[in-house]
Amino acid sequence: MIAFDSVAYSYGGAELLSEVSLRLAPGSFHFLTGPSGSGKSTFLKLCYAELRPTAGRISIFDRDVRSLGRDDIARTRRRIGIVHQDCQFLDHLPLAANVALPLTVTGRDTSVQDLSDLLAWVGLGHLADALPPSLSGGERQRAALARAVIIAPDVILADEPTGNVDWEMSLRLLSLLVELNRMGKTILVATHDLTLIRTVKQQIAARVLRIRNQRIQLAGADL
Amino acid sequence: MTGVPGTALRQANRVVPPSGPSAWLTTLTSAAMAFLAVFALALALASGRLAARWTEGLANSATIRISAPADQMARQTQAVLDLLATTPGVASARAMTDEQQRKLLEPWFGPDLPLDTLPIPRLIEVTQDGAGYDGEGLRLRLAAEAPGAILDDHTRWRVPLAVAAGRLRILGLASVVLIVGTMAAMITLAANAALASNAQVIRVLRLVGARDAFIARAFVRRFTLRALSGAAIGTALGMLAVAALPSADAAGGFLTGLGFQGAGWLWPLALPPLAAVVAFVTTRIAAFGKLRKVM
């Protein structure tokens, strides 16, 4: 799905990531952990081509990122569901329209029933007409997840999806991601919450990647 | 579910927030520019008509002025008329009466002009036919038959006036071009402002897989419609203002002839579509330029 080969990324002269080589296999579940500012968000942005590597090679769906034009990147993102850390929405549109946005931008439509089912799945069925600013942190995170999955993506990338919610809501969000993984989706979740990672690892065989000294390594029993 | 997702989906087509200062700026600019363009167009068309009238209409006429002592005036006038009657290319010749000459001079000297006590030259109006006459030959014959007669074929003042009218026409058309250019610049500024204030919207749209063409279309459509509606309002007001100007027939003169005649009224109707095309092109260029900076 997504492969990194000796990737490095520098910004303003400082190297944020170095010699990163890994592969997100189809149907896999990965956590990415590390302290704040360690480069988790940067890694995710490299995964959906918002950033380009300063060295090395990234392949997304077997295509070198460097060879992707702007329209190619847009098409690639239609296969990647992104749950952003700050849950970016169009604040002037109701929740249902925001969730359906990935379909709207591709000229596709969805049935009212499917959209209702999706909103119900994330527990937001009663908030279809609500505007994003009126939603709580947890509701926004779940709405972002619904938006990420509405296009039936192959990969879901979540950047600190539980950052603004309580423990109970965190577990609920992660259980949705686990459910998606069991449906065959490739999942990568960036989080610094190790307790959450340990809890989820009891349910599924998730791999944990850790950023340390600009490098990404597989975490072992010391987690 | 209590919400109405169907309605929400339709709203999703309005991915760009509906209002903002750029909306009014675009509409107002288009209206003002279209209003001015109507006047520039009216100026260009009126100048064109004037130039045509001076070049074509007056080119077919000439005036012979006879300055002679009072006792020779009648004889020389008759000699000139006889000569003109036998001159090839002259369609008609008519000596103006005292009354006609008084009316000609009235605007400058008032109604009580004592024409009989002043050495006013006699004027003969000459109209040429399609082939025209030999001006130089006529001048020589006049010198021989009536020494006080001078042929004035209007070239001396007609040519500079026609040139001036022609330049006025170019000035009018250049004004239209400048107005359109200014409108393009203003719409570009407004579009850039709108794109900058909607940077977050653009980022979200890119994040969910929108192509540049989709995002640009949302802005282009909006600005095109604003420019079209603004220009339509400006054009309508401009045409009403031009229609309200005094008519040429009533007052005469150049300024009162400023306006549209006949099919000329159709020209301003091209301004709203032109504004829409300008907005479409400029917003599209601005949008794609801005989007290239967003991954």
In a domain, B244, yes or no: yes
Q: What is the DSSP string of B173-216?
A: HHHHHHHHHHHHHHHHHHHHHHHHHTHHHHHHHHHTT--HHHHH
Is A101–B208 a contact, with Cβ atoms under 8 angstroms apart? yes
Assess whether pLDDT exceeds 80 at residue B77: yes
> Which among A48, A84, A96 has the least Cβ separation from residue B8?
A96
Per-residue CA distances from A90 to A142, B133, B201 (Å) = 15, 80, 6
For A66-117, what is each residue's pLDDT tens digit?
A: 999 999 999 999 999 999 877 789 999 999 999 999 998 888 877 788 889 8
User: What pLDDT, on a 0 to 100 scale, did the predictor assign at position A130?
Assistant: 95
In a domain, B250, yes or no: yes
Do B142 and B196 lie in one domain? The reply is no
Per-residue CA distances from B159 to B51, B59, B122, B258 (Å) = 10, 10, 24, 21
Q: Helix, strand, or coil here: A187?
A: strand
> Which among A74, A95, A128 has the least Cβ separation from residue B210?
A74
Do B172 and B286 lie in one domain? The reply is yes
Residues of chain A positioned with their CB less than 8 A from the CB of B6: 112
Is A75–B292 a contact, with Cβ atoms under 8 angstroms apart? no
User: What pLDDT, on a 0 to 100 scale, did the predictor assign at position A137?
Assistant: 85
User: What pLDDT, on a 0 to 100 scale, did the predictor assign at position A47?
Assistant: 95
For B7-17, what is each residue's pLDDT tens digit?
A: 444 544 478 88
Do B122 and B186 lie in one domain? The reply is no
The average pLDDT across B251-256 equals 52
Residues of chain A positioned with their CB less than 8 A from the CB of B8: 93-97, 100, 128-129
Q: What is the C-alpha separation between B203 and B229, in angstroms, rounded?
A: 29
Do B198 and B271 lie in one domain? The reply is yes
Is A109–B207 a contact, with Cβ atoms under 8 angstroms apart? no
Q: Which two tokens stand for residue B249?
A: 């027939």
Within B86-197, residue ranges assigned H as helices are: 98-109, 135-145, 155-197
Q: Which of B95, B112, B147 is the last residue of a domain?
A: B147
For B193-245, what is each residue's pLDDT tens digit?
A: 888 888 889 999 999 999 999 999 888 988 999 999 999 999 999 999 999 88
> Which among B9, B201, B205 has the least Cβ separation from residue A96?
B9
Q: What's the ipTM?
A: 0.88
- What is the sign, positive or negative, of the torsion defined by CA atoms of B290, B293, B294, B295? positive
Q: pLDDT band at B1, cuts 50/70/90?
A: very low
Do B47 and B181 lie in one domain? The reply is yes
For the ranges A91-105, A115-129, B18-32, B165-179, which has the lowest average pLDDT?
Answer: B18-32
Better-scored residue on pLDDT, A212 or B130 = A212
Q: pLDDT band at A221, cuts 50/70/90?
A: low
Q: pLDDT band at A193, cuts 50/70/90?
A: confident
User: What pLDDT, on a 0 to 100 scale, did the predictor assign at position A222?
Assistant: 58
Q: Are A38 and A215 in contact (CB under 8 A)?
A: no
User: What pLDDT, on a 0 to 100 scale, did the predictor assign at position B118?
Assistant: 76
Do B174 and B244 lie in one domain? The reply is yes
Do B200 and B274 lie in one domain? The reply is yes
Assess whether pLDDT exceeds 90 at residue B271: yes
**CA distance to partner chain B, nearest, from residue A170 (Å):** 23
**CA distance to partner chain B, nearest, from residue A115 (Å):** 7
In a domain, B61, yes or no: no
Q: Which two tokens stand for residue B237?
A: 């007001």
Residues of chain A positioned with their CB less than 8 A from the CB of B209: 74-75, 77-78, 102, 105-106, 151
Better-scored residue on pLDDT, B252 or B184 = B184
Do B224 and B264 lie in one domain? The reply is yes
User: What pLDDT, on a 0 to 100 scale, did the predictor assign at position B12?
Assistant: 40
In a domain, B38, yes or no: yes
For A153-163, what is each residue's pLDDT tens digit?
A: 999 999 988 87
Give residue B45's domain range.
17-51+168-291
Do B190 and B249 lie in one domain? The reply is yes
Do B217 and B81 lie in one domain? The reply is no
For A20-40, what is each residue's pLDDT tens digit?
A: 999 999 999 999 998 888 899
State whether residue B293 sits within 8 Å of chain A by CB. Answer: no
Better-scored residue on pLDDT, B3 or A68 = A68
Is A93–B14 a contact, with Cβ atoms under 8 angstroms apart? yes
Q: Which of B114, B147, B180 is the last residue of a domain?
A: B147
In a domain, B37, yes or no: yes
Assess whether pLDDT exceeds 90 at residue A49: yes
In a domain, B162, yes or no: no
Mean of per-residue pLDDT scores for chain B: 84
User: What pLDDT, on a 0 to 100 scale, did the predictor assign at position B251?
Assistant: 45
User: What pLDDT, on a 0 to 100 scale, did the predictor assign at position B248?
Assistant: 55
Assess whether pLDDT exceeds 80 at residue B190: yes
In a domain, B264, yes or no: yes
Assess whether pLDDT exceeds 70 at residue B155: yes
State whether residue B199 sits within 8 Å of chain A by CB. Answer: no
- Contact map slice: A 34-93 vs B, CB within 8 A: 48-51, 70-71, 73-75, 77-78, 82, 84, 88-90, 92-93
Assess whether pLDDT exceeds 80 at residue B20: no
User: What pLDDT, on a 0 to 100 scale, did the predictor assign at position B254?
Assistant: 55
Q: pLDDT band at B256, cuts 50/70/90?
A: low
Q: Which of B94, B118, B147 is the last residue of a domain?
A: B147
In a domain, B155, yes or no: no
Percent of chain A scoring above 70 in pLDDT: 98
Do B277 and B195 lie in one domain? The reply is yes
Do B213 and B281 lie in one domain? The reply is yes
Percent of chain B scoring above 90 in pLDDT: 34
Question: How many folded domains does chain B comprise?
Answer: 2
